Amino acid sequence: MDATQTKTVEQQSFLLEEKQRFSKSLLWQLQRQFFEQQGIQAWRQGTVPHYITSNPHIANAYAQVVLGFLGVVQKQAILGNKRSLK
């Protein structure tokens, strides 16, 4: 294929399931099977990209979310607000 030609790759998508709790879904089962088969090797071999969820920057961001939530809970308790946080 030369530079003037382009190859079009069609993206196909399909619905695996509809209106299913994730914990009861086929995707959940497949993921569980994968990790049962691969074990820790999935991380050691780099199959599972884990740095994005285990680095100091993201840990700080998660901590800020939790602290913000706790601040709201504390403020509601002080003000006597009985409303749910939902």
The length of the chain, given as a count of residues: 86
**Quick one: residue 65, left, alpha or beta (phi over 0 = left, psi -120 to 50 = alpha)?**
alpha
Query: Tens digit of pLDDT for each residue in 57-70?
Result: 989 999 999 999 99
Instruction: Give me the pLDDT at residue 83, please.
Output: 60
Cα Rg of the chain, angstroms: 22
Query: Tens digit of pLDDT for each residue in 3-31?
Result: 555 556 677 888 888 998 989 999 999 99
pTM: 0.44
Q: Specify burial of residue 42 (Cβ count, 10 A radius: 0-12, 13-18, 19+).
A: middle
**Amino acid code (one letter) for 25:** S
